[in-house]
Amino acid sequence: MKIKVAMLGITGLILSGCFFANDEIKLDDIGNFKITVHEAKDYRQVHLTGLLGNSAMGISDIKTTSHNDELNITLFQKLAGSKYSGKLDKEIALDRDIKKITYGSKHEIIWQE
Question: Does 35 map to a domain?
Answer: yes
Structural domains counted in the chain = 1
The whole domain housing 29 covers 22-112
Question: Does 94 map to a domain?
Answer: yes
Nearest to 48 by CA among 30, 60, 65: 30
What are 2-29's pLDDT values in tens digits?
Answer: 565 445 555 554 444 444 557 999 999 9
What are 29-55's pLDDT values in tens digits?
Answer: 999 999 999 998 888 999 999 999 998
Average pLDDT, whole number, for the chain? 86
Question: Does 9 map to a domain?
Answer: no
Question: Does 16 map to a domain?
Answer: no
Question: Does 12 map to a domain?
Answer: no
Question: Does 7 map to a domain?
Answer: no
50 touches 34 (CB < 8 A): yes
What are 65-91's pLDDT values in tens digits?
Answer: 999 999 999 999 999 888 899 999 999
Question: Does 4 map to a domain?
Answer: no
